[in-house]
Structure 1
Amino acid sequence: MKFAITPCPNDTFAFFALISKIGKNLDFEFERHDIETLNEFAFEAKYPITKLSFPAYLANRDKYELLDAGAALGIGTGPVLVARRGWSGGKVAVPGLNTTAALLYRFYAGKDAEIFPMLFSDILPAFSRNEIDAGVLIHEGRFVYKDYGLELVEDLGDYWTKKTGLPVPLGCICVRKDFAHLKSAIDDEIRKSVKYSFGHFDETLPLVRHYAQHLQEDVLHSHIVAFVNEFTYDISKIKDSLISNLLLK
């Protein structure tokens, strides 16, 4: 089964055992794309198992079912809105129109706030080239924006949690409906993989670093511990509340 994920550290870390074929019962073939590419592929139901932004899952519930394991949820932390010093408003770069980052920005700034999409890994370089004045950063970028002389306008994840009382619904793992009979087995394999990674942290780092955008070990560690947590094991108790709140936004 093809299993599509992003190259971000939390995905490589969480699925390390499955990628490395350690103790597996199901055979997965992994592919990696940025999150907005995966969101767009979902509309054509390309992958049997795929990482999606929560808004993209909601738009494709006719094709995919949500797994209980493997999700990336922030606990009072998430995408960050950053800008050059003195920014007074205007269009904001987001890592894709179907991403949770875009939804969270409009939840913060208003549904009519102007946004334009960029590949997530192009946003910080665009600041360096003076092409943009404000943007929403995800993955490791949220931990290194100060190195680019940028200022934090708002931690959009923290804003979401304060307003809703819920963790930040960043990414989820979904299974195509023709493979939905394997949901329980896939959940079990993902949970075993996450447990293995936490027990073999150093073993995961070479692979995590290979696919990461930023290579500093402290950045990688901060990213992993922020977004691989209790909800990566199981979102069953909160998924209805998350979905209800997302549908209202």
Structure 2
Amino acid sequence: MKIAFSPCPNDTFVFHAWVHGLIPGAPKLNVTYADIDITNSLAASGSGLDLLKISYAALPWVLSDYTLLPCGGALGRGCGPLVLTLNKASRNLSPAVLAGRRIAVPSERSTAYLLFRLWAAAQVPGGVGEIVILPFHEIMPAVRDGLVDAGLVIHEARFTYPAYGLMQVVDLGSWWEDQTNLPLPLGAIIARRSLDLPAIVNWIRASVKYAWAHPKASQDYVLSHAQELSPEVVKAHIDLYVNEYTENLGEIGYQAVTTLLSRAAQAGLVPEVDWRTMTVIL
């Protein structure tokens, strides 16, 4: 079975057991490790992959071939994207500081960028300037080095950005939670509609449960893909992004997904989704 997910600690932690043949009855996985911008593109391009981790923002474009699975993804509270800029004592950090500015983002169809567009439309007078798409691990260096005026960051950047001399303009996750009182949907696991979806859900959930029961078992595998992150940052990353919604989206998780994508569709940012066509597995 062919799967693509990121080398980030939460993904490798979740799928470690399945990748290493520790889930009884689960087929062998052929893994493509790729940044979220690439997996979003793979899902939309007819790549032939069976399972992918993509941005929730990319979901409306792929639902003809894939469906959302209720496990394995990233959704939660206190884990939203951050907008960062250089740490200058005299800097005004109101949203207006971004007006007309050059902003780096991790993917055109990332949930982070979708959320940023919803926020900026209401908060940044006159709108932002040029949008530059960069791999997420290049964004903070680009802001630090003055190649862009600000950066939209995800993943473990919320733990490491002070080391780059950066400061926060806005925590988009907090903004979302204030607006909706819902957790923020970030990354989704999707599967081809033609597959045995209940079986795949069971295998993913078994892999998640194994990871929680044996956290040290995946340590070497996770660190080998963690782009030189310290063990402390890796643990913080996993603790934040692998949570109850990773095992089961549940009704609140599905409500968060439909709320985000419905608001985005109303703003003309994504195609409208006919939720009746969604295969819901709880």
User: Structure 1 residues 214, 136: CA separation in 2 closer, same or farther (over 3 Å shift)?
Assistant: farther
Measure how far apart 1:171 and its partner are.
Answer: 0.3
Q: Deviations over 1:69-113 (max 9, x none)?
A: 111012132111111132622121110100001011112211754
Distance 1:246 1:171 in 2: 13
Letter in 1 for 2:257: L
User: Structure 1 residues 77, 158: CA separation in 2 closer, same or farther (over 3 Å shift)?
Assistant: farther
| CA RMSD between the two structures | 1.6
Measure how far apart 1:214 and its partner are.
Answer: 4.0
Q: Which runs of 5+ in 1 are unaligned?
A: none
Distance 1:213 1:237 in 2: 34
Measure how far apart 1:139 and its partner are.
Answer: 1.5
Q: Which residue in the other structure is 1:176 paired with?
A: 192
Distance 1:31 1:140 in 2: 21
Q: Which residue in the other structure is 2:79 paired with?
A: 77
Distance 1:204 1:102 in 2: 31
Q: Which residue in the other structure is 1:190 paired with?
A: 204
Measure how far apart 1:26 and its partner are.
Answer: 2.0
Out of 135-144 and 31-40, give the one that drifted further.
Answer: 135-144
**Structural mapping, 1:13-52, within 5 Å:** 13-27=13-27, 28-46=29-47, 47-52=49-54
**Structural mapping, 1:71-220, within 5 Å:** 71-85=73-87, 86=91, 88-89=97-98, 90-110=101-121, 113-114=128-129, 115-179=131-195, 182-220=196-234
Q: Which residue in the other structure is 2:276 paired with?
A: none
| 3-state SS of 1:110 partner | helix
Q: Is the counterpart of residue 244 in structure 1 residue 255 in structure 2?
A: no
| 3-state SS of 1:163 partner | helix
Letter in 2 for 1:118: L
User: Structure 1 residues 45, 247: CA separation in 2 closer, same or farther (over 3 Å shift)?
Assistant: farther
What TM-score do you get using the length of structure 2 for normalisation? 0.83
Distance 1:149 1:128 in 2: 7
Distance 2:229 2:78 in 1: 24
Letter in 1 for 2:154: I
| 3-state SS of 1:237 partner | helix
Asked if the contact 1:72–1:172 (Cα under 8 Å) also holds between the matched residues in 2, the reply is yes
* Residues matched between the structures, number: 247
Distance 1:6 1:102 in 2: 18
Could you tell me which of 220, 233, 236 is aligned with 1:222?
236
Asked if the contact 2:144–2:165 (Cα under 8 Å) also holds between the matched residues in 1, the reply is no
Measure how far apart 1:166 and its partner are.
Answer: 1.0
